[in-house]
Structure 1
Amino acid sequence: MSTTPTPFTADDLAARMRHAVESAQAAGLDGLLVMPGPELVWLTGYRPTAITERLTTLVLTADREPTLVVPTLERPDAEGCAAASALELVDWTDGQDPFSVAAGLLGGTRTLAISDSAWAMHLLGLQDAAPGVAYRSFTQALPMLRAVKDEAEVARLAAAGAAADATYGEILKVRFAGRRETEVAADLARLLRDFGHEQVDFTVVGSGPNGANPHHEAGDRTIEKGDAIVLDFGGLMHGYGSDTSRTVSVGEPSALVREVHEVVRQAQQAGVEAVAPGVPCQEIDRAARKVITDAGYGERFIHRTGHGIGTTTHEPPYMIEGETQPLVEGMCFSVEPGIYLPGRFGVRIEDIVTVTATGGRRLNATDRGLAVVH
């Protein structure tokens, strides 16, 4: 579908690590402990072959070079990561206390941000080995660390969005009526991979009454003529996420389905049009929610309007009431209002949007009208 983008270099990743330390200091912290997960991949390009009970952590503080603590048996993999030349590697062997090894790098009394993905046993082990160190979660302390994307990251998100769009174009051609939701979900997963995704995270196929559950997992329900179907699918391509939703009708839709779909379409448009640098995140939610509330369906819009996306498909910032974080050029997030009528059907429309100097730019381009499938 697209050419493989130029990999991020050691210099690129070193700049991210410096940015992380500076962000920690600005938040009143002394540094970061980064565990296996999206932050470690974003900062170093290193993805351990398996997340096990063995401690792996990246220590980022202003008073030492970035240091990656790894099990000895995994050191060869760490030496091959994109940021290896910008890292000091410290390994530990089975039978050695890894928490003491890590504690020796942390210094005295200080406060560090730690990955949300940290295992409790690792955090507790670090607390015992370094009792003077306090910890705060990344989401609590540094929610915007990965929120603003550079041009290369936006390009990857745009490519993932284009692949998801191509998937939607193809899924409209398959037969829906008489097939199980799981069969259509399998088609979606196959198409995402065909168009370049290395990882499929979700394939929601909510037909008829199942569409009223926003996170319905495709089941054995047989799709029937007249069903409205919520399709929500995405995953990772070149390490960056896609996430899009469209609602289709099997055969001609009822007047109520048409009405609800049009309300959601207008709400989604209002949310996108509200995007601009400096606008608080909650204003995107307010803009979309007002359209749905004014149409009389306010109580049936039961989730936030959007979430950030990057090296994971759900991350800060969140488009929800109470989130006053201003939008910044380069932020990327979903705008996905929905209406859910229990026992009947649901409708959701979702695009990924990036903040530009002049407003919001959609990274999904498929028709947001109510498609009719067979």
Structure 2
Amino acid sequence: MTRVAEVREATAAAGIDALLLTPGPDLRYVTGYDALPLERLTCLVVPARGEAFMVVPRLELPAAEHSPAARLGVEFVPWDETDDAYSLVAGRIGRVATVGLADRMWAMQSLRFRAVMPGSEQVLAGSVLRELRMRKSPAEVAALREAGAAIDAVHAQVPGFLKAGRTEREVGRDIAEAILAAGHASVDFVIVGSGPNGASPHHELSDRVIEAGDPVVVDIGGQMPSGYCSDSTRVYCVGEPPAGFAEYYEVLRRAQDAACAAVRPGASCESVDAAARQMIAEAGFGDHFIHRTGHGIGLETHEEPYIVSGNTEPLEPGFAFSVEPGIYLPGRHGARIEDILICTETAGERLNNRPRDLVIV
């Protein structure tokens, strides 16, 4: 069964009359088409009953016809510059009670659809697609495994980039080049948090000069040609670490191991979070672990499921997510260890396999 057919069945089961998917991860998931997000409407329409079709600007028709979507038997409906593409969609699907809009659809587009379908309730397409996207197929797992190996290859080079006297930005530039050289199609993010900047989980690259004795948090990721993402964090220290750092880093390393060991089918997402959080709290650093333990990953770096307190959803084989506890001491330094895991039939499989011990460079 094609994904279009799977989505049609799931749409009908959810009581939604049609899904409207504009460029973004939802459209790419269903069709493989990585369409350009433009002000001109490209929209896949998947009715609960009837055949799917894709409305495309005529100037984008060649790209659509050369995309994987063309192999799915989806009808392409081109529109010209003077046409109203939104009315075209509304006219083709007729009067419907409920439509599901792509979670990342622009507000401009959702409001235009509301105007041409005033009697239709708008809901998020994610209510249908989340169940499909969370359960990675063997092909998706293979793509994530490839992404994990590629970002591991970059982390293997990081010690050679880190030297006292270099700026975070200089190191980040080298890492970005290495991400592309390792086979990624794009660089999604490069975090190089040296010294006190390591206490900011999403620190941006800066012109701070790395000093001897600085711990450095390196969190990096990109998107592979398959569309699937990598994301991994390791901690390095330029010379001997400052007093107390090695001790709390060891707490973090054991907490990350404990959370990974807690992954198994049927275990709740929040139980994995608790496995790391309890150990960090017992060591006296609970107030310094300031974010969830993990996030799902696939065609997006952050997607469901989220590994966080309050999420009682049980893990299932095929779920892919990060396990990344952190400890952050404001004004001093911080640390985070992150691996991507797949929940298998029996346990969790790490897709990142670089050493997790503190690396002294």
Assess same fold via TM > 0.5: yes
Q: 1:41 aligns with which of 13, 28, 31?
A: 28
| Counterpart-to-counterpart distance in 2, 1:30 and 1:313 | 29
Counterpart position of 2:50:
64
Counterpart position of 1:183:
170
Q: 1:253 aligns with which of 227, 231, 241?
A: 241
Identity of aligned residues (%): 49
Question: Given residue 40 of structure 1, which amino acid in structure 2 is its aligned partner?
Answer: L
What 5-or-longer segments of structure 2 have no aligned partner? none
CA contact (8 A) 1:59 1:105 kept: no
| Counterpart-to-counterpart distance in 2, 1:108 and 1:47 | 29
Q: Does 1:306 align with 2:294?
A: yes
CA contact (8 A) 1:144 1:316 kept: no
Counterpart position of 2:215:
228
Q: CA shift at 1:76, angstroms?
A: 1.3
Q: CA shift at 1:112, angstroms?
A: 2.2
| Counterpart-to-counterpart distance in 2, 1:282 and 1:29 | 30
| Counterpart-to-counterpart distance in 1, 2:295 and 2:57 | 35
| Alignment TM-score, normalising by the size of structure 1 | 0.93
Q: Deviations over 1:19-67 (max 9, x none)?
A: 222223333322311110011112112122x321111111112222111
Q: 2:313 aligns with which of 307, 325, 333?
A: 325
| Counterpart-to-counterpart distance in 2, 1:137 and 1:62 | 15
Question: Given residue 200 of structure 1, which amino acid in structure 2 is its aligned partner?
Answer: V
Judging changes above 3 Å, is the alpha-carbon distance between structure 1 residues 228 and 40 closer, same or farther for their aligned structure 2 residues?
same
Q: Does 1:290 align with 2:287?
A: no
Question: Given residue 320 of structure 2, which amino acid in structure 1 is its aligned partner?
Answer: C
Question: Given residue 127 of structure 1, which amino acid in structure 2 is its aligned partner?
Answer: R
Q: Does 1:271 align with 2:271?
A: no
| Counterpart-to-counterpart distance in 2, 1:142 and 1:109 | 20
Q: Does 1:128 align with 2:115?
A: yes
Question: Given residue 63 of structure 2, which amino acid in structure 1 is its aligned partner?
Answer: D
| Alignment TM-score, normalising by the size of structure 2 | 0.96
Counterpart position of 2:232:
244
Q: Deviations over 1:286-308 (max 9, x none)?
A: 11111111111111111111011
CA contact (8 A) 1:27 1:142 kept: no
Counterpart position of 2:325:
337
Q: Deviations over 1:241-290 (max 9, x none)?
A: 10000111110113411011111111111111111111111111111111
Question: Given residue 238 of structure 2, which amino acid in structure 1 is its aligned partner?
Answer: V
- 1:61-100 residue pairs with structure 2 within 5 A? 61-85=47-71, 86-100=73-87
Q: CA shift at 1:149, angstroms?
A: 0.8
Q: Deviations over 1:301-329 (max 9, x none)?
A: 11111011111111111101111221110
Q: 1:52 aligns with which of 32, 35, 38?
A: 38
RMSD: 1.3
